[in-house]
Every structure is written in C-alpha cells, then in structure tokens.
Amino acid sequence: MNSLQAPASATASAALAASLEASDEFHQAASPRYCPTGLLASFALLMAGRGRCVNTDMMLGDREYAMWQLACARATDDAELALVAARLFAYFDDPQHSGVAVMGTA
C-alpha cells in the first residue's frame, strides 16, 4: 500500500462514521411513536357509545385533536373509557415527539 492511499482511506472512514452518526441523530429525534390500533379502535367504539364520533386517522395525525378527544373521554363517568384514554395518553403526551405524527400498528 503506498503512503497516499492510507490517508485517503482514513479520511473516507472518518467521513463515513460522521455521516452515520448524523443519520442516527436524525432518526432518534424524529422517530415515530407507534400506537396500538386495537386500543385506538376500542377507544373510538367506547366514545361512539357515549355519542361522540372519533376520527382515528386524525387521532394519529393531529396531536391537538387526539389530546382533546382524550380529555373529553377522561371527563366522562365511564371507568372503562377513562382507563383506555389513560393508556392512550402515553402515546400522545410526549413533548419530545410533539411534532411527529403517531403511527398505528396493525
């Protein structure tokens, strides 16, 4: 190996490592949160039983809408609905990911 090749490969390795580190930081900062769709469907059905229509797609894509629906559920006297809302709350109330949509899991 000649002396010109060694620094070039070291520079390339350093650039690749820096690139991977930057990529890792991006994915950590913007990683989606996954919400169990079964739990979300149960929430929508329980809310429908109380006369409130819930758009599950909007729950996954609009944090403010989701928080409003969860607050409405918690304000009811339905213990089962309040429990489901409390479990869902963990998926929507994460300030670190407030700008990231919540994803459903199938």
d(CA 84, CA 86) in angstroms, rounded, equals: 5
Domains of the chain, residue spans: 1-30, 33-105
Backbone angles phi, psi at 19, to 5 degrees: -65, -45
* Model confidence pTM above 0.75: no
Q: What is the mean pLDDT of residues 9-23?
A: 57
Contacts of 78 (CB under 8 A, 6+ apart): 46, 50
**What does the alpha-carbon distance between residue 60 and residue 102 come to, in Å, rounded to a whole number?**
5
- Closest among 36, 41, 39, 92 to 64, alpha carbons compared: 92
**25 pLDDT higher than 70:** no
Per-residue pLDDT of 40-99, as tens digits, reads: 999 999 999 999 999 999 998 898 999 999 999 999 999 999 999 999 998 887 665 455
Separation between Cα atoms, residue 11 and residue 59, nearest integer Å: 47
